[in-house]
């Protein structure tokens, strides 16, 4: 298990292991991945095609999507990002 600050780190799980960990079908995990990677949403509360209860459960277990991840902004020599 991957912990940071007493919470699991969701990005450390592949789809299959996340499905098993959460005991949900794969389509539910695909919805979560779509929010994170396609829609760039990091707050579980904004994942509106998931039930309110499930969003709350995700927030309790994982905190936030990028919890425990160092996010680095890279800037090129010509100052573009």
Question: Is a pLDDT exceeding 60 seen at residue 67?
Answer: no
78 or 34, higher pLDDT = 34
Q: What is the mean pLDDT of residues 44-71?
A: 83
Q: Which residues contact 46 (CB under 8 A, 6 or more apart)?
A: 35
Which ranges of 15-68 would DSSP assign to H, the alpha helix? 15-22, 26-33, 52-62
Output the pTM of the full model. 0.74
């Amino acid at each position: 298990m991957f912990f940071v600050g007493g919470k699991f780190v969701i990005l450390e799980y592949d789809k299959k292991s996340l499905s098993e960990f959460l005991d949900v079908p794969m389509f539910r995990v695909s919805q979560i991945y779509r929010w994170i990677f396609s829609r760039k949403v990091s707050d579980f509360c904004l994942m509106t095609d998931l039930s309110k209860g499930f969003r709350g459960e995700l927030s309790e277990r994982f905190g936030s999507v990028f919890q425990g991840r160092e996010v680095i902004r890279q800037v090129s020599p010509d100052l573009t990002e």
